[in-house]
Amino acid sequence: ALVSLGLVLLTGVGGLTSFGQAAFVGIGAYTTAWLTLNTGMSPWLTLFVGLGLTAGSALLVGFITLRMSGHYLPLATIAWGLALYYLMGNLDALGKYDGLLGLKSLSIPWMNGSIDIGQGRLFFVLTWAILIAGAVALLNLLDSRPGRAIRSLKGGSQMAEAMGISTFRYKVTIFIIAALFASVSGWLLAHFQRTVNPSAFGLKMGIEYLFMAVIGGVGHVWGAIVGAALI
């Protein structure tokens, strides 16, 4: 639902089709997996490192591909999505197609110990809290002045640019926001499963995430949750 939430902004509101969001899920997942296993860094800190790497990757990819239009843009997202998928599966440092095993579960300090919130009901509460916060933040964004500029993207660029709106800048911005939602999803996935491998980040999942957004109502924020529930 988090990934689909980003696609509501990117595709439903902004009119940009991306089949590569699963790759950004993978960046978030692999970042936290590698850092927690190899450096002992807290998973709560790796979340922000993953967001930083995801934002940088999305900025680079968006700057290159978002100048395209028509069917060239979806084809470009398929291309870089597949490229990142095969990169994850062929790097020795990432365990190739076997992936990384033995991740820490999420926990919070409590008195003289800690409480495991990476499984069961507490993880359920954490996930829903993040999802609802993301949905509310997205609604507030779309109700703001930049949000009105973002809504204008779907209708074409000429009128928006005539009003002084930099359409390319807003396209890159929503592309990065959608990628950040995906990265958080990957972070949660990694610490829930406690293992990461490339199978969850291929083109098939990218299509499925987009299908969730469409089924739930691609132009509606809460539709992301409905679509994920139906799928």
pLDDT value of residue 107: 87
The per-residue pLDDT of the chain, averaged, comes to 89
The pLDDT tens digits for 156-184 are 677 777 777 888 888 999 999 999 999 99
* Percent of the chain at pLDDT exceeding 70: 100
Model confidence over 26-39: pLDDT tens digits?
999 999 999 999 99
Q: What is the mean pLDDT of residues 131-141?
A: 95
Give the residue-averaged pLDDT of 130-142.
Answer: 95
pTM exceeding the 0.95 threshold for the entire prediction: no
Per-residue confidence band for 188, with pLDDT thresholds at 50, 70 and 90: very high
pLDDT at 62 over 80: yes
HEC readout, the chain: CHHHHHHHHHHHHCCCCCCCHHHHHHHHHHHHHHHHHHCCCCHHHHHHHHHHHHHHHHHHHHHHHCCCCCCHHHHHHHHHHHHHHHHHHHCHHHCHHHCEECCCCCEEEECCEEEECCCHHHHHHHHHHHHHHHHHHHHHHHCCHHHHHHHHHHHCCHHHHHCCCCHHHHHHHHHHHHHHHHHHHHHHHHHHHCEECHHHHCHHHHHHHHHHHHHHCCCCCCHHHHHHHHC
